[in-house]
Chains A and B, each alone.
Chain A
């Protein structure tokens, strides 16, 4: 009991205290500096030491980077220019000229020079298609583009007749139509099965002939570019983005499957996830590039890049499934019961109540899986696809640039960093936006 109250047990406050500002020394930059940098002699020493280390590192790297040489045709020429500028053995500087000389290979691989607009346009289309999905403030009209974007991008990148992608697209429309008009007749389960089976049969047997028939009747198309010409950072982007876009829905379905009470669905999901996750990605990539040929009928030419995309997708979907399962498990059972008690059916309660919350919890995990997937695309170099790392090797193999290491890797690292860092920042933005618990 405090001194003021000690003389008697009864005490009545007559007036309530108004709010006051904190003391001046307890706010602002001075307080921050004192608390965070110089709060004691040990921290002061550490602060000074840290500043010195940062200075020392930057003092070595910055002159090397900023003094770099941008115009030269080979590493030898680079060194001559350096010696002229700084004197023999005076100073090491970067030779950025290699990037000026070979940026197109690092970015586009062997994609035809006169068609660089196609990957660039694809990137713009992709940006426009995902913008309304990622940001609510973007016009909703762009959402119309989103389902079409994969077909547009596929056609732009690989070229060829426009009827191919259109014939594939028609399969989705067909599936939708089967479901839409079949549901009243054969019930929702039958309609769902039919909506899956009919398009698959259509793609297997009808889509090819229809596309080739149409293209011979009405040849509209652009120059076809084979997958072998894809390379550089573009290859990493194509594989990475395709993997990310495809693995999220697949991962969610697997996570739901693993939670399911249906025995077969449950066990299939568990086995799929554990087998895929238990084997290194590089093994799956070799499986894709070598082993699959043994299983496919002779004569089928199944595009290597497509195989890699499928493998990368399956691989990361197993991880996504586990991350999402964590989110599902973190939800209190009351949420499932609340949704059930209102009469929502399984898919409605998943879509409207459970998944929005589970995915929100899983955002950091999902995004770090995506980042991992995107960086893992560099592994395709081992099965002979020329990703940026692959090109860095081939650039060094040329006589002009034999001996260039840092410049190439810094550039490649920077490209990956920009993408991964944006994903990370976006995930933080999303977490803040979706926070509804206490604001």
Chain B
């Protein structure tokens, strides 16, 4: 099993808080999505319980990013239903904004606001969406910046930080809204190898605190050690899902076997 061991996760993970409850966080039923006439997502059914840590993997173009972007309505779906935290995702803008403020998201390219300082990046949404008083929002922001271990950068601009630091700020920025669900869209794909670890550590820390997480990632070490479920997608469909141990040791479909042999083979 040595080929599954990547050195990105080298500490023992505290699983005491990682509890999957019966409460449903996200429920996707019969969801279909088209880009023009191209059928990107086909009959997606997925239920995520609170406290789950799900890793979604698959070849590029398989629709994994599109899937998690549908959950906070960055992409709209044409068929089926998505219920997030008990709220049905509809075209109502108020509704969408409410779901977005409950669901944190981290992007591949961080998408920090370059014209604002780190602290302002973190306090913007709490102040304007949650109407938190400025001082309180700043205290929260500093708390989370300390959590991702970069409080000393608070007054700098995103452009002055390394990629890993920027991604950690992006995580802190999402956390400042106190989300109940976090979505990660390839958070480490744009980073140098040295920086991947610091971001993964932050994500592991989040998982240890019991956050419900959906991660699109190619970090199989992370998937194996942190996820409670791995979903494999290909051609816009969920091809296989299983507990990580089973998924990696005993893949069922040919498509999955092929994918795993490609990413773990070298």
**Do A and B truly interact?**
yes
On chain A, the residues within 8 Å of B105 by CB distance are 341
Contact check, B159 vs A436: say whether CB atoms are below 8 A apart. Answer: yes
From 168 to 184 in chain B, residues with beta carbon under 8 angstroms from any chain A beta carbon are 173-174, 177
- On whether the beta carbons of A341 and B115 are closer than 8 Å, the reply is no
Which residues of B sit under 8 angstroms from A341, Cβ to Cβ? 72, 74, 100, 103-105, 107, 111, 174
Interface set, chain A 350-381, CB cutoff 8 A to B: 352-353, 356-357, 360
| Residues of B with C-beta under 8 A to A332 | 109, 111
Q: How far is the CB of A332 from chain B (nearest CB, A)?
A: 8
Least CB separation from B101: chain A residue: A343
A344 contacts the other chain (Cβ, under 8 Å)? yes
How many angstroms between the C-alpha atoms of A30 and B107 in the bound complex?
51
From B115, B124, B125, B174, contact of A434 by CB (8 A): B115
Contacts of B157 in A (CB 8 A): 436-437, 439
Interface on chain A toward B: helix, strand, loop, or mixed SS?
helix
> Closest B-chain residue to A342, C-beta based?
B125
Contacts of A346 in B (CB 8 A): 93
From B109, B114, B159, B177, contact of A342 by CB (8 A): B177
Counting chain B residues whose Cβ lies within 8 A of the other chain, the interface size class is 20 to 34
Knowing A341-B74, A439-B160 touch, does A334 contact B97 (C-beta < 8 A)?
no
Contacts of A400 in B (CB 8 A): none
Contact A343 B74 (CB under 8 A): no
Contacts A357-B115, A434-B115 hold; do A352 and B124 have CB atoms under 8 A apart? yes
CB < 8 Å: which of B101, B107, B129 contacts A338? B107
A337 and B159 form a contact (CB under 8 A): no
Identify which of A334, A356, A357, A436 contacts B107 (C-beta below 8 A).
A334
Contact A342 B124 (CB under 8 A): yes
List the B side residues contacting A339 at CB < 8 Å.
113
Q: Across the interface, do B111 and A352 meet the contact criterion of CB distance under 8 Å?
A: no
User: Which residues does A use to contact B, with CB under 8 Å?
Assistant: 332, 334-335, 337-346, 348, 352-353, 356-357, 360, 434, 436-439
20 A-B contact pairs sorted by A residue (CB < 8 Å): A334-B110, A335-B111, A338-B107, A338-B111, A338-B113, A341-B100, A341-B104, A341-B174, A343-B97, A343-B100, A343-B102, A348-B128, A348-B129, A352-B124, A353-B113, A356-B115, A357-B115, A434-B115, A436-B114, A437-B159
